[in-house]
Structure 1
Amino acid sequence: MNLTGLSRRRFLGASSAAAAAATLVDLGGAGHASAGTRTWKSPKSKNGWPILDGATSFSIEGSGQKVSLIEGDAATILLHVARRFHYEVDSLRTGDVRGWTSDRKVTEAYESNYLSGSAIAIRPVWYPVGAKGNFYPNELVVIRDILAELDGVVAWGGDFTRPKESHFEITPKPGHPRLKGVARKIRGWNIGPGDEGAGAIDAFDPRRRSASRAFERRAS
């Protein structure tokens, strides 16, 4: 089978999801799957944000898709992540992006951040918990550029001990000055002349690559 471009990405994502499902079957099927989850009982998510009873639905620019998030700076930043993914990694389709949820069942503690609307999962079926190596090198360049551009206020699940490459979360607590500063920068791009921000970024520019590598070394 000869797979190139998007078709290969779809194959890799489907393979990861299938592999995860096969692992659960090998461990004893659905009963064991539920044993791998727990109920998050804290009034705050792992990153320190309050658990929400509901969240606001936001449009992801250029994609026709929506995602539910906590209002304010966190939404501004996570929407920027989703927008850049759509423009620079692959087009988002129906069901690709998940944000706030009321389901308190989590496999890893960081998944509690969905409960506070302070995290998103982009294609969680393609890139589930425990699966790694699903992105092409050029796609990783974009992801690393996004993380560097946002000055560490967003963490990527691909870097976690037990990875989830679909996962992006806000790291500072509510009201943190760095969070406010990054959100202000993004809002400036959004109302600017159109030659900044998502859709107008070259993640492969040598200066951006250098800054991205430097940030990754500092963060590791």
Structure 2
Amino acid sequence: MNELTRRRFVGATAGAATGLAATTLTTLGPAAPASAAPASRTWAGHRSANGWEILAAAQEHGIEGSGRTVRLAGGDAATILLHVARRYHYEIQQLRESDVRGHRTDRRVREPYESNHLSGTALVIRPAAYPLGVSGGLYPRELTVVRDILAELDGVVAWGGDFTVPKESHFEIAYAPGHPKVKGVARKVDGWNTGPGNEGAGATDAFDPGRRTRAEAFARSHRARS
């Protein structure tokens, strides 16, 4: 059984996204009807939707324990997003060839948040299994892990499953460069990476009752702010 058939997808494909200013997005085609996928547009700004500078190229980074790599902006963004990918690999499903995609130079986007790939501050994990506009693709245990990751990173990473037009494969840095929360969370992850090995990716129990309570509370408050 392939991945798409084993998943329970619910919800209709989302309609076209609310347009940004003409200086940021240039429409390539006619607006999609409500029942169709959003039309592709060209991102014309110098920064991605989350405020990071668009990159002509990005460094390739190894994802610990997986044998896979992904291109991301360096520094804090890579530290944080690699942590997401590691935990996904350890706790949800082992990453296979081409499962993870990060930086890209193709400026065509269907939703503004997809522009964050241009700055190397977003990644998608198994995008064919979790496409744009579809929600409900994660099993409950998988959703528990995702919620735990988001809570432990204190909202610095946003998940596409929470967006108005969802994309459950999508994870992005939610704050602009230099934001103190980005720096603080990156330091925390660095501490886990260089510590004794009993914290962080591969050493976390997302199903611990205390962690689940905190993650559920974080999810409620996060959705309330959205």
* CA displacement, residues 12-71 of structure 1 (integer Å, 9 cap, x when unaligned): 46x86xx97xxxxxxxxxx97898100000101000001100000000001110000000
1:28 matched residue in structure 2: none
Note the C-alpha offset of 1:218: 1.1
- Residue 208 of structure 1 and its aligned partner are, at CA, apart by 0.2
Aligned residues: 203
Q: Distance in 2 between matches of 1:85 and 1:34?
A: 27
In structure 2, the partner of 1:152 is: 155
Question: 1:116 aligns to what?
Answer: 119
Structure 1 stretches lacking a partner, 5+ long: 1-6, 21-30
Shift >6 Å, 4+ stretches: 31-35
Q: Tell me how far apart the structure 2 counterparts of residues 159 and 187 of structure 1 sit (CA, whole Å).
A: 27
Match of 2:55 among 52, 56, 70: 52
Q: Aligned with 1:190: secondary structure?
A: helix
* Residues 144 and 206, structure 2, Cα contact 8 Å, conserved in 1: yes
2: CA distance between counterparts of 1:184 and 1:35? 37
Counterpart Cα distance in 2 of 1:178 and 1:171: 10
1:177-192 aligned within 5 A: 177-192=180-195
Superposed CA deviations along residues 75-116 of structure 1, whole A, max 9, x for unmatched, are: 000000000000000000000000000000001010000000
TM-score calculated relative to the size of structure 2: 0.84
Say whether residues 1:211 and 2:214 are aligned partners.
yes
Match of residue 81, structure 1, among 84, 91, 96: 84
Closer/same/farther in 2, CA of residues 116 and 74 from structure 1, 3 Å limit: same
Larger relative helix fraction: 1
Question: Please, which of 87, 90, 95 is the counterpart of residue 92 of structure 1?
Answer: 95
For the structure 1 residues 149 and 8, does the alpha-carbon distance in structure 2 shift closer, same or farther, using more than 3 Å as the test?
farther
Identity %: 61
Aligned counterpart for 2:68 among listed residues 50, 60, 65: 65
RMSD: 2.2
1:127 aligns with 2:130: yes
The TM-score with structure 1 as length reference comes to: 0.87
Q: How many Å separate the matches in 2 of 1:167 and 1:181?
A: 22
Structure 2: tracts of 5 or more residues without a match: 14-29
Tell me if 1:106 matches 2:123.
Answer: no
Q: Is the 8 A contact 1:12 1:134 kept in 2?
A: no
CA contact (8 A) 2:37 2:133 kept: no
**Mapped contact 2:46–2:53 kept (Cα < 8 A):** yes
